[in-house]
Amino acid sequence: MQIWLNRLKVAIVERDTALLEELLESIPQHTQKSELQSAIALMQEASDVVKELRDETFISMEQLKKNLKFLESDATPMTGRLDIKY
């Protein structure tokens, strides 16, 4: 269990969602009460990290949408012919 807890701590610090998912799918059984309390506290921290990453992703996506909308509004309409004026 101690190795699992250490890996969970590393995943939280590194904000590694893939490792967090892997660890949460393989929670050790038959542990001591103190280890369970540590695991619960770390899982809460992991939940906070995932929520923070979700919020950051949402903000980034909204900014991308705004940028695309701006670029589309500023783009010259495309015509199907070559429009050269002398």
Q: What secondary structure, in 3-state letters, does the chain show?
A: CHHHHHHHHHHHHHCCHHHHHHHHHCCCCCCCHHHHHHHHHHHHHHHHHHHHHHHHHHHHHHHHHHHHHHHHHHCCCCCCCCCCCC
pLDDT band at 73 (very low <50, low <70, confident <90, very high): confident
Q: Flag whether the pTM goes above 0.85.
A: no
pLDDT band at 86 (very low <50, low <70, confident <90, very high): low
The answer to whether 24 and 39 have CB atoms below 8 angstroms apart is: no
Whether residue 48 is predicted with pLDDT greater than 90 in this model: the reply is yes
Alpha carbon distance 75, 71 (integer Å)? 6
Whether residue 45 is predicted with pLDDT greater than 70 in this model: the reply is yes
Mean pLDDT of 70-78: 76
